[in-house]
Amino acid sequence: MHTIRLRSIVPVRGRCLVLLLLTIITAHGQDLPEVRLASKSNPQSGAVHGIVPLMREGQPAQGCHPAIIDTISRMGVDPIGGSYAVLCTLSAAPADANQALYRGQCTTGVLPDKAALRAPELFLRKGILYFNQPGKLKSITLPSSNLTASGAGGTGRGQAVAGPNLITVIVDFENGVRQIMANSP
């Protein structure tokens, strides 16, 4: 028997999709937080309904071998276009490289043959030497000014993720510099 605790839900407009941040509590009391894509049934469009995991705590961190995802810290979603960003801490990684920001596109739906298109990809990782700074990346933060007390977001406030893969992050460098960066690689 599993219990599911919903931590955050963000609708993606016009696409019959929602992005969920939830925690599954197993029968043994173990918490398994994960990000899932849910699709509502829509007979007119022929869409398949279901819930598909996108990222789960405890799974290998894509692009960061041998690290695994330790904690899903924050999630940001563009509710219009369906781009998303997930900030994670990593275990089995060096202390100076234990944080990663992933991005993805959830509007491909839940069909099994589209799994690679909606899967998160590594966007930024703590410890990299950024091209215009003399120090390495020390920390990554998604802005939290758009969150309500419930954590649901989607209230018309500013978004950390906007448009196709445009992500705004706050980064700190080892040399003491703090920057707000808007990246669209």
For residue 121, the tally of other CB atoms under 10 A from its CB is: 12
Grouping H, G, I as helix, E, B as strand and the rest as coil, residue 97 is helix
Instruction: State the pLDDT at residue 47.
Output: 41
Tell whether the model's pLDDT for residue 15 goes beyond 70.
no
Q: Which residue has better confidence, 38 or 94?
A: 94
- Provide the residue ranges of all domains of the chain, joining segments of one domain with +: 3-183
Instruction: State the pLDDT at residue 153.
Output: 53
Structure tokens at 167: 């992500």
Q: Which residue has better confidence, 158 or 95?
A: 95
- Computed over every residue of the chain, the mean pLDDT equals 75
Tell whether the model's pLDDT for residue 161 goes beyond 90.
no
Q: What are all long-range contacts of 66-71, with beta carbons under 8 Å and residues at least 24 apart?
A: 66/92, 66/93, 67/91, 67/92, 67/93, 67/97, 67/98, 67/100, 68/92, 70/98, 71/33
Grouping H, G, I as helix, E, B as strand and the rest as coil, residue 163 is coil
